[in-house]
């Protein structure tokens, strides 16, 4: 790409990015610099991609109950922002992979498409195995890219920036970003990526770096560029359960999307992931926890996910879980526990005993039992145990299912891998 043309593209993107931020909502102490709302005293729900064809009543519900969503075309975003100008919407893009031709993403804010016809012309942008073949994901056929190729890096930055600006997004959710995925998704075509290779093996294609080191450099550069325009980077780093994955996810991006957060039955893995997660929270990073339900009536799992969220919640921490419909609402999301008694503490300070954790709020407390035994929990005075009833898809008229009930108690038996929320 010629220097003059490149400078023109960069200048245009910078101008459009700055104009987009000027035309956006006014800065406020209740929001960070990317427009994400403060969450210290609330349960903040940021949902997955919503259906395109919402009734007006559903749009009003979305604007009034969720703080944001992702992967929305601009006309739907504009409908929602008529009721809530601060509604957060994230662009969706793969992090270190190129979408295969059959898979589409939003290319200009309004239309679904793919840039495959352009990207495939640049053979050196792709990752190749020792036979010279492009490496594809075993899961869905996406293509692994050489993230240390300078031309690829510049294209990735500018194309994502153009898409963010066109869609009036606050940032980008970078899916499948973790190098820990390579052992499962890419090693079938490139055995060099098997096992712990992403963290331990150095590759000449990456300038002598490991994949983890290359990711850190690549993500930090992408983040620096997009943040200079006022946009956040949120790579999907999974649940952080991979022991050998020591990649720096904590300083190289604006935050993280943690898909499958808390989904384990290993105390060791849970505590390791919790400590890693708190590294993000303590830095005031944007963190989105998203996990999935086997059915809407799985109250135990819902309370476990929410209790873990409340245990770790910081200034910009969001949650989502659902069964089939992304347009769902669960009554426990409306709870008001007030502010935490203290900022996010060390994990050790929240530990009551091995596998049992507690965090105090101004109006109640939250407990999580990740041990293999029942735990008896007592309260100094009579308290109210939160019991959700119902919940699930939002109706055509914007009506939410479910309600909260409360059981007075001074003592509770908390089962293994369960959460408990108590109001005073």
Examine residue 361 and state whether it is found in any structural domain, yes or no: no
Burial class (CB in 10 A: 0-12, 13-18, 19+), 110: exposed
**pLDDT average, residue stretch 137-166:** 99
Residue 420 has pLDDT above 90, yes or no: yes
Q: Is the pTM of this model over 0.85?
A: yes
In this prediction, residue 18 carries a pLDDT of 52
Residue 26 has pLDDT above 80, yes or no: no
What contacts 24+ positions apart, CB below 8 Å, involve 339-347? 339/40, 339/41, 340/40, 340/313, 343/314, 344/278, 344/281, 344/282, 344/312, 344/313, 344/314, 346/278, 347/271, 347/274, 347/275, 347/278
Per DSSP (E only), the strands in 95-170 are 97-98, 105-106, 112-113, 143-144
**pLDDT average, residue stretch 257-285:** 98
pLDDT tens for residues 183-227? 999 999 999 999 999 999 999 999 999 999 999 999 999 999 999
Question: In this structure, are residues 314 and 39 in contact, taking their beta carbons and an 8 Å threshold?
Answer: yes
Question: In this structure, are residues 182 and 193 in contact, taking their beta carbons and an 8 Å threshold?
Answer: yes
Lowest-confidence segment of 12-21, 265-274, 384-393 by average pLDDT:
12-21
**pLDDT average, residue stretch 95-117:** 98
Examine residue 408 and state whether it is found in any structural domain, yes or no: no
Which residue range(s) make up the domain with 88? 3-351
Examine residue 358 and state whether it is found in any structural domain, yes or no: no
| pLDDT class of 15 with cuts at 50, 70, 90 | low
402 alpha-carbon distance from chain centroid: 26
The structural domain count of the chain equals 1
Examine residue 127 and state whether it is found in any structural domain, yes or no: yes
Examine residue 162 and state whether it is found in any structural domain, yes or no: yes
In this prediction, residue 171 carries a pLDDT of 99
Phi, psi of 78 (to 5 degrees): -65, -35
Examine residue 387 and state whether it is found in any structural domain, yes or no: no
Phi, psi of 313 (to 5 degrees): -55, 135
Examine residue 282 and state whether it is found in any structural domain, yes or no: yes
Residue 244 has pLDDT above 50, yes or no: yes
By percentage, how much of the chain surpasses pLDDT 70?
94
In this prediction, residue 9 carries a pLDDT of 53
Which CATH number characterizes residue 169's domain? 3.20.20.70
**pLDDT average, residue stretch 72-89:** 99
In this prediction, residue 343 carries a pLDDT of 87
Examine residue 416 and state whether it is found in any structural domain, yes or no: no
Do the strands 171-175 and 232-235 form a parallel or antiparallel pair, or are they unpaired?
A: parallel
DSSP element (H, E) containing 155: helix 150-167
In this prediction, residue 10 carries a pLDDT of 55
Residue 21 has pLDDT above 70, yes or no: no
3-state secondary structure (DSSP) of residue 273: helix
Q: Write out the two tokens for 410.
A: 């001074």
């Amino acid at each position: 790409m010629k220097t003059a043309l490149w400078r023109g593209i960069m200048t245009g993107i910078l101008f459009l990015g700055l104009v987009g931020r000027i035309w956006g909502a006014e800065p406020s102490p209740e929001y960070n610099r990317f427009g994400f709302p403060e969450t210290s005293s609330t349960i903040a729900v940021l949902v997955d991609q919503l259906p395109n064809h919402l009734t007006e009543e559903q749009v009003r519900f979305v604007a009034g109950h969720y703080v944001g969503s992702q992967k929305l075309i601009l006309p739907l975003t504009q409908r929602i922002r008529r009721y809530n100008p601060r509604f957060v919407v994230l662009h969706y893009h793969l992090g270190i992979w190129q979408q295969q031709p059959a898979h589409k993403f939003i290319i200009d804010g309004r239309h679904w498409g793919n840039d495959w016809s352009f990207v495939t012309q640049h053979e050196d942008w792709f990752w190749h195995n020792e036979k010279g073949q492009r490496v594809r994901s075993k899961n869905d056929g996406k293509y692994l890219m050489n993230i240390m190729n300078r031309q690829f890096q510049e294209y990735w930055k500018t194309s994502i920036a153009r898409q963010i600006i066109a869609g009036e997004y606050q940032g980008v959710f970078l899916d499948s970003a973790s190098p820990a995925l390579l052992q499962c998704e890419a090693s079938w075509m490139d055995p060099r990526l098997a096992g712990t290779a992403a963290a331990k093996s150095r590759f000449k294609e990456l300038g002598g770096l490991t994949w983890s080191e290359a990711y850190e450099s690549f993500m930090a550069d992408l983040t620096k560029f997009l943040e200079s325009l006022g946009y956040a980077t949120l790579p999907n780093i999974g649940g952080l359960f991979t022991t050998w994955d020591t990649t720096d996810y904590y300083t190289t991006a604006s935050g993280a999307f943690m898909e499958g957060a808390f989904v384990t039955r290993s105390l060791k893995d849970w505590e390791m992931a919790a400590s890693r997660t708190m590294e993000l929270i303590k830095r005031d990073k944007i963190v989105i926890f998203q996990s999935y339900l086997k059915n809407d009536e799985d109250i135990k799992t819902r309370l476990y996910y929410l209790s873990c969220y409340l245990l770790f919640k910081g200034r910009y921490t969001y949650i989502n879980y659902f069964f089939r419909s992304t347009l769902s609402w669960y009554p426990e999301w409306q709870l008001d526990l007030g502010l935490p008694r203290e900022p996010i503490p060390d994990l050790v300070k929240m530990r009551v005993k091995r596998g049992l954790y507690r965090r105090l709020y101004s109006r109640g407390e939250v407990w999580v039992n990740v041990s293999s035994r029942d735990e008896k929990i007592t309260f100094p005075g009579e308290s109210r145990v939160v019991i959700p009833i119902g919940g699930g898809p939002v109706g055509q008229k914007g009506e939410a299912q479910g309600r909260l009930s409360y059981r007075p108690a001074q003592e509770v038996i908390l089962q293994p891998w369960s959460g408990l929320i108590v109001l005073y």
